[in-house]
Chains A and B, each alone.
Chain A
Amino acid sequence: MAWTVLAVGVLVLGQGVLAGGRELGELITVHEVTVLAFVVAVTVGELVRLPMPSGRDAAPLASASALAVAFLCQIDGEPDFDVPSGFVVLLVAAGLGIAAVVRRVRGGPAGVDQLAARLIGVAVAAVLTRDVGGDRGSLWDLTLDQDVPRPLVATSMVVVAAIGLVVEIVLSSAVRAERQRTPWSAALRDETGEVAPLTFAVVTSGPLVALMAPVFGLASLPAALFPLAITYVAVERYARNRMTYRQTIATLSQLTEHGGYTPVAHAERVADLSVRIGRLLGLSDRELRDLEYAALLHDLGQLSLRQPIPGGATVLAAPSDQRDIAVEGARIVRHAEGLDLVADYVEAQTTPYRQVRELGEVVPLPSRIIKVANAFDDLTGGRSHPRTSLAAMERIHLGLGYEYDPQVVEALAVATADAMVGRVQEREPAGR
């Protein structure tokens, strides 16, 4: 899928070159200043990506600038931006490409397939604006015609921008689904759920630039993006707070490590593995967050044990002790309002799968995931040597259906076979 998107992206780019190639040099010379301004805007917008609370990132300023290029018509102080849609694509591609290179040089992932998705979205918007039209010409022609009421032009632009962004979202969620091995529906749901408010803001910002340009010239670009910049700051703050929240939870998980009850980094590893399995099984962002917190806190109850369990490995403890630890952990977590669900997950993590199957007991999927991830980490001791993993998998398979949920164990097998599965980031994080 990623390759398909990439291929289409390259095709669109090729078409851009062909359609624009005719008079490429001339177009660039004529629109020198405009081209420069927008390439810079797209590049900068792409470089100041906005990390979302869930860990993926969005580039609202780049999207808005790119869409503005598609709509751009008259510009005070500059010649009318009368260019073929291919030229628009080329311009945006240049901006995105420079940003990708800069990011690569800085040592980050270039994220080429996401860029391809964005480019295709902009291409759709540009074609709809400049090439498609009825008797009175394209939307671009209508924009040029001062007799057409501006509110009508504005509405059309917003609709076209929305179509372009929807294309981008669908494609990028497809890419993500492929990379994380998440069901596409889940990826699409997360993508729209989290990005929807931002998209809503971007949809009007592109048209805003184009509508102001006839009277305010190129100064419209920074001016019209100002409200979006406010949004950016607000979302960034929200995301940062989410990070500190997680850090607080992580600190809680370290209490047992400092007390010598659990091995160092055990909770972090179980959380990481649990989230990947959860993503593989199509849990929503919200559920994944609670799963992560519960996994971090799953051993918290060991804190009040009189004697540490050898090696902190609950998988080897007596079932009744395991249960006591889970209940105690949940009791502590319940002291915070709003973490009730997390406490439930912690509490149910020791219930054997048999009780779900035979007695119809309701055990939340996140709890079943933590049970499996915890067992795996206890058995491997956090070592990633293939032989250790294999032995641990074998051991877990022995408890299949009795102790562990087979569906979760299957996902575990996929996740341990490929370190990239179920990760939001494009590269494996360099150990915590």
Chain B
Amino acid sequence: MTAESGGQSRPPARGTPATTVYIGLVAALGIGLTTAAVIREGLVIDGPLVVLGFLAVLTWWSGRIVVANNVTLTFSSIVLLAAMALLGPAGAGIVGILVGPLQRGKVPLRARVFNTGMSAALGVLGGAAYRAAGGPRDSSDVIGAWEIMRQIAIPVFVADLVQVAVNLVLLAGVIRVAGGAPMRNQMLRLLGSTGPAYLGYGVVAFLLVVLWQPADVGPASVALILPPLLVARWAYLQYAEEFKAHERALHVLVAAVEAKAPHLTGHSERVADLSARMAEHLGLRGQVVADTRVAGMLHDLGQTTLPTPLVRGGEDTGGDLVRSYPARGADLLRDLSFLSGSLDAISRHREAHLLEGAIETDDLPARIVGLADEYDLLTEVGTPDGAVLEPEDALRTLGGASERRRELVGALEHAIGRTGGPST
């Protein structure tokens, strides 16, 4: 239960009539399958159903914790898997209906309806798969490591696979109908991030089933399995909180630059913003975009190591000392492994400054940061006497002869357009 990306909770994209129809179909599928299973098998309202139903309702409380990069953590898949094994298709369908609509936070109604239909369908199909793979109705008499592997572990694993597959197909469907990204990539991405998590859910659900029936502990098994998971959840929460705090701490570095060079106030943020937008526009990977943003934010850090009068007296008067500050900035950050992707761009951004006779470096992030830096210096920071250029003039000044340069300036223009002028 370490991670689930997207998963059941991903709200369907903006409402087109087609998505509404699709969501209606999924809901009908889930409710229909559950009804069929109940008619075929009959439904006994007994202890296990009540307990698992109650747990399903409780999972809303545990919420979904966003750990990092859209990876979230949820208990509902475990409850659903256990229900497939302990209750069969009909009971699992009912539990699915209970899991679906209850989500904390602002989840639009259409997403709740979709999730209800999907988790009900997951429950019924998974329950059927468990039986089909040889899982007994009642596993109380299954004894011995080998027998338990054959009669419980393998069927739980099969049900787990069915859960992943149905989840993916229905989600991919909604993305397709909403006219979103190419399905293939989307599905691979989802599978990559959720696959290991579902394996984890499967093992925990398996333990719950073994403890519940063969080991005869019954519903109390939940109390034995839950504590470690709750603690893991606690730790992830702490982690997420500190992770954010850590991000904020990076702003102190920016504040240090601004304390040293008051005329640069706001400059770092603007360059970070522009750099990230340019990187995005040029089609760089997500991680590279993030690294470029950080490089933009911290590109002037090295200035803190220069004598204050030199920094405040305006740039370009200190010769070699001034020229060396980008590398010093990168040196300062050398110990921080999470910034390693930004170091090159920080230490080489100045090489890309056109107005200083750029040595066109091959390092694209460095060139991006360099251009964004130059543009902002011209239009916002200005010369020591306070003269600034209009965006158009600055762009004309910066536009270069080479093809590569033009492409870069095009990205800059696009980035400015999107911000509606970078002034903040």
Chain A residues within 8 Å of B, Cβ to Cβ: 76-77, 150-151, 154-155, 158, 197-198, 200-201, 203-205, 207-208, 211-212, 214-219, 223-224, 226-228, 230-231, 233-235, 237-238, 241-242, 244-245, 247-252, 254-255, 258-260, 300, 303-307, 328, 331-333, 335-339
Chain B residues with CB below 8 A from A328, complex form: 259
What is the bound-complex CA distance between A230 and B304, given in angstroms?
A: 43
Interface membership of chain B positions 141-163, coded 1 if the CB is closer than 8 angstroms to chain A and 0 otherwise: 01111001000000000000000
Q: Which of B217-271 contact A (CB under 8 A)?
A: 217-220, 223-225, 227-236, 238-239, 242-243, 245-246, 248-256, 259-260
- In the complex, the chain B residue whose C-beta lies closest to that of A218 is B145
Q: Are A233 and B252 in contact (CB under 8 A)?
A: no
Asked if B363 is at the interface of the complex by the 8 Å CB criterion, the answer is no
Asked if B335 is at the interface of the complex by the 8 Å CB criterion, the answer is yes
In the complex with contacts A215-B142, A237-B235, A335-B254, A245-B218 CB distance below 8 A:
no
Chain A residues with CB below 8 A from B248, complex form: 336-339
Pick 22 A–B contacts, CB within 8 A, sort by A: A151-B219, A151-B220, A204-B224, A204-B227, A211-B211, A211-B224, A215-B148, A216-B210, A217-B144, A223-B206, A227-B207, A230-B200, A230-B228, A230-B229, A241-B246, A245-B249, A255-B253, A255-B304, A259-B306, A260-B305, A304-B260, A333-B252
Q: Are A247 and B335 in contact (CB under 8 A)?
A: yes
Q: Are A303 and B228 in contact (CB under 8 A)?
A: no
Q: Are A198 and B231 in contact (CB under 8 A)?
A: yes
Chain B residues with CB below 8 A from A247, complex form: 335-336
Q: Which of B37-58 contact A (CB under 8 A)?
A: none
Q: Are A259 and B305 in contact (CB under 8 A)?
A: yes
Q: Are B142 and A201 in contact (CB under 8 A)?
A: no
- In the complex, the chain A residue whose C-beta lies closest to that of B218 is A151
Chain B residues with CB below 8 A from A212, complex form: 207, 210-211, 215
Q: Are A231 and B256 in contact (CB under 8 A)?
A: no
Chain A residues with CB below 8 A from B216, complex form: 150
Min distance, Cβ A169 to any Cβ of chain B, angstroms: 16
Chain A residues with CB below 8 A from B231, complex form: 197-198, 200-201, 231, 234-235
What is the bound-complex CA distance between A191 and B283, given in angstroms?
A: 50
Select the residue from A211, A242, A248 with max chain B CB neighbours within 10 A.
Answer: A248
What is the bound-complex CA distance between A250 and B253, given in angstroms?
A: 11
What is the bound-complex CA distance between A283 and B236, given in angstroms?
A: 26
Asked if B419 is at the interface of the complex by the 8 Å CB criterion, the answer is no
Chain B residues with CB below 8 A from A305, complex form: 308
Give the B interface residue count (CB, 8 A). Answer: 66
In the complex with contacts A235-B235, A258-B305, A204-B228 CB distance below 8 A:
yes
What is the bound-complex CA distance between A204 and B207, given in angstroms?
A: 13
What is the bound-complex CA distance between A338 and B229, given in angstroms?
A: 28
Q: Are B220 and A154 in contact (CB under 8 A)?
A: yes
Q: Which of B262-308 contact A (CB under 8 A)?
A: 301, 304-308
Chain B residues with CB below 8 A from A238, complex form: 235-236, 238-239, 242
What is the bound-complex CA distance between A248 and B239, given in angstroms?
A: 16
Chain B residues within 8 Å of A, Cβ to Cβ: 1-2, 142-145, 148, 200, 203-204, 206-207, 210-211, 214-220, 223-225, 227-236, 238-239, 242-243, 245-246, 248-256, 259-260, 301, 304-309, 328, 331-333, 335-338
Q: Are A234 and B336 in contact (CB under 8 A)?
A: no
Q: Are B211 and A208 in contact (CB under 8 A)?
A: yes
Min distance, Cβ A151 to any Cβ of chain B, angstroms: 4
In the complex with contacts A201-B227, A303-B304, A339-B252, A237-B220 CB distance below 8 A:
no
Q: Are A244 and B239 in contact (CB under 8 A)?
A: no
Q: Are A215 and B239 in contact (CB under 8 A)?
A: no
Contact partner, A226, options B203, B215, B251, B308, Cβ 8 Å: B203
What is the bound-complex CA distance between A252 and B234, given in angstroms?
A: 29
In the complex with contacts A214-B215, A216-B210, A228-B228, A258-B328 CB distance below 8 A:
yes
In the complex with contacts A259-B306, A303-B256, A303-B304, A245-B246 CB distance below 8 A:
yes
Min distance, Cβ B200 to any Cβ of chain A, angstroms: 7
Chain A residues with CB below 8 A from B148, complex form: 215-216
Contact partner, A335, options B225, B229, B252, B332, Cβ 8 Å: B252
Min distance, Cβ B78 to any Cβ of chain A, angstroms: 10
Min distance, Cβ B246 to any Cβ of chain A, angstroms: 5
Contact partner, B259, options A203, A249, A331, A339, Cβ 8 Å: A331
Select the residue from B143, B259, B306 with max chain A CB neighbours within 10 A.
Answer: B259
Min distance, Cβ B261 to any Cβ of chain A, angstroms: 9
Min distance, Cβ A242 to any Cβ of chain B, angstroms: 6
Chain A residues with CB below 8 A from B142, complex form: 215
Q: Are B249 and A336 in contact (CB under 8 A)?
A: yes
What is the bound-complex CA distance between A230 and B226, given in angstroms?
A: 12
In the complex with contacts A212-B211, A230-B1, A248-B336, A150-B218 CB distance below 8 A:
yes
What is the bound-complex CA distance between A430 and B392, given in angstroms?
A: 58
What is the bound-complex CA distance between A158 and B224, given in angstroms?
A: 9
Min distance, Cβ B11 to any Cβ of chain A, angstroms: 27
Contact partner, B225, options A208, A241, A300, A339, Cβ 8 Å: A208
What is the bound-complex CA distance between A305 and B301, given in angstroms?
A: 16
What is the bound-complex CA distance between A408 and B311, given in angstroms?
A: 40
What is the bound-complex CA distance between A304 and B304, given in angstroms?
A: 8
Min distance, Cβ B147 to any Cβ of chain A, angstroms: 9
What is the bound-complex CA distance between A48 and B215, given in angstroms?
A: 30
What is the bound-complex CA distance between A158 and B227, given in angstroms?
A: 12
Chain A residues with CB below 8 A from B228, complex form: 201, 204-205, 227-228, 230-231
Chain B residues with CB below 8 A from A307, complex form: 308
Q: Are B337 and A244 in contact (CB under 8 A)?
A: yes
Q: A215-B144, A247-B336 are in contact. List 9 more A-B contacts (CB 8 A).
A: A155-B220, A215-B142, A216-B145, A223-B206, A231-B228, A234-B235, A244-B337, A332-B255, A339-B252
Q: Are A304 and B145 in contact (CB under 8 A)?
A: no
What is the bound-complex CA distance between A151 and B223, given in angstroms?
A: 10
Q: Are B249 and A339 in contact (CB under 8 A)?
A: yes
Min distance, Cβ A152 to any Cβ of chain B, angstroms: 9
What is the bound-complex CA distance between A307 and B312, given in angstroms?
A: 13
Contact partner, B245, options A203, A216, A338, Cβ 8 Å: A338
Q: Are B145 and A234 in contact (CB under 8 A)?
A: no
In the complex with contacts A227-B207, A251-B333, A258-B304, A215-B143 CB distance below 8 A:
yes
Q: Are A241 and B220 in contact (CB under 8 A)?
A: no
Chain A residues with CB below 8 A from B254, complex form: 335
What is the bound-complex CA distance between A247 and B253, given in angstroms?
A: 13
Min distance, Cβ B57 to any Cβ of chain A, angstroms: 22
Chain B residues with CB below 8 A from A249, complex form: 249
What is the bound-complex CA distance between A252 and B256, given in angstroms?
A: 8
Q: Are B145 and A217 in contact (CB under 8 A)?
A: yes
- In the complex, the chain B residue whose C-beta lies closest to that of A211 is B215
Q: Are A231 and B232 in contact (CB under 8 A)?
A: yes
Min distance, Cβ B327 to any Cβ of chain A, angstroms: 12
In the complex with contacts A200-B227, A336-B251, A254-B338 CB distance below 8 A:
no
Q: Are B252 and A336 in contact (CB under 8 A)?
A: yes
Min distance, Cβ B295 to any Cβ of chain A, angstroms: 15
Q: Are B332 and A254 in contact (CB under 8 A)?
A: yes
- In the complex, the chain A residue whose C-beta lies closest to that of B337 is A244
Min distance, Cβ A200 to any Cβ of chain B, angstroms: 5
- In the complex, the chain B residue whose C-beta lies closest to that of A237 is B239
- In the complex, the chain B residue whose C-beta lies closest to that of A240 is B239
Min distance, Cβ B346 to any Cβ of chain A, angstroms: 13
What is the bound-complex CA distance between A148 and B316, given in angstroms?
A: 85
Min distance, Cβ A362 to any Cβ of chain B, angstroms: 25
